[in-house]
Amino acid sequence: MATTVDGVINDCVHLSSLPYSGCDTRIVSLLDINIPDQATEEEYRAIYTRYIQKSSLGSRASNASRLRDAVESIRYGVAPPVAFPTETVYGLGADATNEAAVSGIFAAKGRPSDNPLIVHIASIAHLERITGEPLPDVYEPVARRFWPGPLTILLPIPASGIFAKNVHPAQNTIGFRIPSSKYARFFIAAADRPIAGPSANSSGKPSPTTAAHVLHDLRGKINFILDGEGCDVGVESTVVDGLHDPPLILRPGGVGLEEFRALGREVGGEVGEKWARTTIGYKTSVHHAVETASNTSGSPSVAASTTSGSGGATASEELHADHSNGSSNGVASYEEDVNGAPRAPGMKYKHYAPRGRLVLFSRHAYQAGRVQERLDQLAGAETHQPVKVGIISCHWPPFAGLKDISSTVDPTRITEISKPKEGGQKKPDPILHSAYADITSIAPLRVRDTDVTLYNVQLGTEISSLAHSLFGVLRLFDELECSYIFAEMVQHSGPSPLQDQRSTSEVTSGKVTEGGTDRSGSRQLRRDLEDAVIDRIEKAAAERVDE
């Protein structure tokens, strides 16, 4: 037992690195609190205080008490992290200035200790108050345009040393963002702490977009999940390094390459000229890099080779071409790690993978009948054991146009072909308890003397639908125990329009300005989500069929 202050601190940090177990995980609803889309930190804190005081004796007493306990656990850092909703995915939050509390995030997720965390703040004023430093001039136009929203910027580690070292392992920068979700900003303001918050899932699994997803992964490991319904965007934020020249996108998300470049051209001057040369700083497949080059310069400078991959974690090849001034093919060379640690989340480790083997098919492969061939192969390789295959259809017809589908089963009758539990009881119906019952079809068929069940989720051609639903559908197929998942490679469309400019004074003060049409006030989704979806689905894939 430690007897010195340093010893006690070291003991706390060590214990926090061990995952909590046996927690009574409870869901705390934020939906019955009148939380406005636009409010300052002080206004959000006042709403929180009124809610827990007025509800302490009424029918909402239990929910209010749990919310108070969740917020105070963040303030005092004496409990597991708290899951909270954002417009992108659900986050797992702890006080970013408390090393022991931050260690609890890594423990609960099973997250590698060298994977940096993003810090969520309520406003630019909050950021400057915490860091003790003004926002660098280079980020001013970016913050005005894209904050609050799905954008993370890299800033130098403050000289005050206020942030826990495990937030930025081996790094000289920290990622910050202001979420557009009113629920996230309400939580941050109520806790009055900067919140370190990666996705609230077990490390490596698809990111959570509902409270139920979080409960599935982290039940018993955390005490509280704040429920703000489903996430509007569905993929994590863009991470950009504006300290580098040219600025580099380290992780694609809701803000895209062309948006930064267009903003730079609009702003002009030295800062604008720099952002006009923004480029990609993450590794990408040849297939994706060539399409990016085509869309940004009109003439790809890299010749793509189409190959069939098997067993690769993401794509068949990786391209990391030199790009010294941001005017070539949109892909920059960049030192992606410092002392072996990645500069941004998603740059080093395998992410988003379902338990089933995800196989991506190019348009050419689909037209050449490779989907049918792959189904025939896997049915023959299973020694006549039943096979379940999930299909994500966007441009594909239902069931990817596979042959011999004579009938389909309505999702309401899924239990008729579900495998019973021991004792003869049917399993709970995962489709009917998901958000995809209306767009899911089921087809039982016989392939090469093997019973095959196909589950087709018809998402449609809108990229926002795929972004919003990708992680949820992958999780659904896991619940259905699909051994394989077939999906089409994402196709690029044309460039996106610019977003209306926001008021500097409102964003700086913490007031949210109108930036979108969805429930949480997040800005309208556009073509730039394609880069993010391509990145996520290729990282989740185990195999890719190009021809």
Residues 468-490: b if buried by 16+ CB within 10 A, e if exposed: bbbbbbbbbbbbbebbbbbbbbb
Q: What is the pLDDT of residues 201-244, one digit of tens each?
A: 998 899 999 999 999 999 999 999 999 999 998 889 999 999 99
Say what the pLDDT of residue 388 is: 96
Q: Are residues 347 and 114 in contact, defined by beta-carbon separation less than 8 angstroms?
A: no
Residues 411-432: b if buried by 16+ CB within 10 A, e if exposed: beebeeebeeeeeeeeeebbbe
What the block records as the tokens of 79 is 């409990």
- Find the helix or strand (DSSP H, E) in which 153 lies: strand 151-156
Say what the pLDDT of residue 333 is: 46
CATH 3.90.870.10 occupies which residues in the chain? Answer: 17-227
Say what the pLDDT of residue 283 is: 77
Q: What is the pLDDT of residues 106-136, one digit of tens each?
A: 999 998 888 899 999 999 999 999 999 999 9
pLDDT less than 50: residues of the chain: 1, 8-9, 13-15, 286-334, 337-340, 416-417, 495-525
Number of neighbouring beta carbons within 10 Å of residue 303: 7
Bridge partners for 488 per DSSP: 361
Q: Are residues 346 and 531 in contact, defined by beta-carbon separation less than 8 angstroms?
A: no
Fold of 17-227: DHBP synthase (3.90.870)
Say what the pLDDT of residue 404 is: 84
Tokens 């002392």 appear where?
Answer: 339
Say what the pLDDT of residue 500 is: 40
Model pTM score = 0.80
Bridge partners for 196 per DSSP: 94, 119
Say what the pLDDT of residue 529 is: 78
Q: Is 465 left (phi over 0), alpha (psi -120 to 50) or beta?
A: alpha
d(CA 272, CA 142): 10
